[in-house]
Amino acid sequence: MTANPVSPQRPPAALESLRADFPVLDQTVNGRPLIYFDNAATTQKPLAVLAALDHYYRRDNANVHRGIHELSNRATAAYEAARARTAAFLNARSTEEIVFTRGTTEAINLVANTWGNAQLKAGDRILLTEMEHHSNIVPWQLLAQRTGAQLVYLPVTGDDGLLDLGRLDELLVPGVKLFAFTHVSNTLGTINPVAELCERARQLGIVTLVDAAQSAGHLPLDVQAIGCDFLALSGHKLCGPTGIGALYGRKERLEAMPPWQGGGDMIASVDFFESRWNTVPHKFEAGTPDIAGAIGLAAAMDYLDAVGRERIAQHDRELVAHAVEQLSRVNGLRLFGPRTGRAGVVSFLLNEVHAHDLVTVADQFGVALRGGHHCNQPLMKKLGVMSTARASFYFYNTRAEVDQFVAVLREIQKFFAQ
């Protein structure tokens, strides 16, 4: 295997020096040095991940769990090692609790279509929050349509973007079968108290699902400490490839769930009119999986752990505090989300400038932002806006980039004021 450029033995260097591990960052866009602030959409990939993908396709490429030749054995070993790596990354009790999926979206759809179909009936309630991404709303709407279950929402307080926990006693009650919520809001940057929410649900025997799309690459995650039943993540938001993610599920829950997609690998035996299922997690992985993706994901997890997840979280906190402080000084800027204790995501609006116009002009200055509803249309409705502009940071971003971004916003403001 190719050596990880950031080995655990390497003494801590300034995070800025890690930029050298990300070749994509070293370029100009529209004649300006690229400032990549769209990390909540997807993060960039370090050399270690590129090398792991390259190595797999150059040396080991074969299908898994099928062949008994050397390459297939190697591919199977690497794929299952990636599962063990993911289990360790999340502190799951066993590898059987890790199902590889295409990402967070597919992981949530899997739970809705298996656990949900089997467990929910007319009148049951599913509790969500108003800050959920469409991926954690639409699968439950579809399930509600199939079963007659009802959706209920825990409100968000307003522009400060906190969950209205004072309403939990009233909304988290017997009759609710599932409480599904995001760990970190992709629009507001709010970090929700997931362990506390899971504990409250567990006291009532309510199943919990945590959407960790925005937290898995930014905060230390321990599913046992969180105490959730399910947790979903996407590899591409934590330095891994696109097209791979994972569902963590408590083993006893996964075992009790029917399969979702049918096909090769998820079966123990098939006859003309009936089949028997493979053991978990294979029961949920029909067909040839994204073998390279899983291997790349494991390399990304190695990389992040070598950098240090607490260190990444600390950098996020410092950079976002600096950004919030700088942005608060820009007249006419409306900032969404908590002022303190937030993740490295900042949504804002500048005077009457449409978010898409702002993002288009920022791109002319080499600054990559996102503008739109961020797949949070219900939240936008709650906030009374159509869209926001969003800057989202990662450990390779710097204070100097934040300062340059704020200077660009001031230029944009002058431009639109003309």
Question: What are the residues binding ligand C6P (CB under 6 A)?
Answer: 40-41, 103-105, 133, 135-136, 182, 186, 211, 213-214, 234, 370, 374-375
Q: Rounded to the nearest whole angstrom, what is the least distance from the CB of residue 248 to ligand C6P in the complex?
A: 15
Q: Which one, 105 or 208, has the nearer CB to ligand C6P?
A: 105
Among 90, 37, 113, 74, which residue's Cα sits nearest to residue 363? 37
Beta partners for residue 232, in sequence order = 211, 247
Q: Rounded to the nearest whole angstrom, what is the least distance from the CB of residue 104 to ligand C6P in the complex?
A: 4
Q: Which one, 6 or 210, has the nearer CB to ligand C6P?
A: 210
Q: Which phi-psi region, left, alpha or beta, contains residue 132 (left: φ > 0; alpha: ψ -120 to 50)? A: beta
Tell me the HSE value of 348 on the side-chain side, using a 13 A CA sphere. Answer: 25
- Please name the helix (run of DSSP H) or strand (run of DSSP E) that holds residue 306, with its range, or none: helix 291-307
The answer to whether residue 375 is catalytic is yes
Q: Rounded to the nearest whole angstrom, what is the least distance from the CB of residue 246 to ligand C6P in the complex?
A: 11
Among 174, 117, 173, which residue's Cα sits nearest to residue 148? 117
Q: Which one, 41 or 385, has the nearer CB to ligand C6P?
A: 41
Beta partners for residue 211, in sequence order = 182, 232
Q: Rounded to the nearest whole angstrom, what is the least distance from the CB of residue 134 to ligand C6P in the complex?
A: 8
Beta partners for residue 276, in sequence order = 269
- Which position among 198, 228, 239, 375 bears the catalytic label? 375
Q: Which one, 60 or 230, has the nearer CB to ligand C6P?
A: 230
- Residue whose entry in the numeric block shows the structure tokens 């591919």: 75
Q: Rounded to the nearest whole angstrom, what is the least distance from the CB of residue 375 to ligand C6P in the complex?
A: 4
Q: Which one, 75 or 131, has the nearer CB to ligand C6P?
A: 131
The CA distances from residue 384 to 111, 112, 341, 379, in Å, are: 31, 30, 24, 8
Among 303, 300, 284, which residue's Cα sits nearest to residue 292? 300
φ/ψ of 270, rounded to 5, equals: -130, 130
What's the CA dihedral at 187, 188, 192, 197 to 10 degrees? -70
- Please name the helix (run of DSSP H) or strand (run of DSSP E) that holds residue 110, with its range, or none: helix 104-111
φ/ψ of 151, rounded to 5, equals: -95, 140
Rg from Cα positions in the chain: 22
Q: Rounded to the nearest whole angstrom, what is the least distance from the CB of residue 271 to ligand C6P in the complex?
A: 35
Q: Which one, 351 or 377, has the nearer CB to ligand C6P?
A: 377
* Residues marked as catalytic: 375
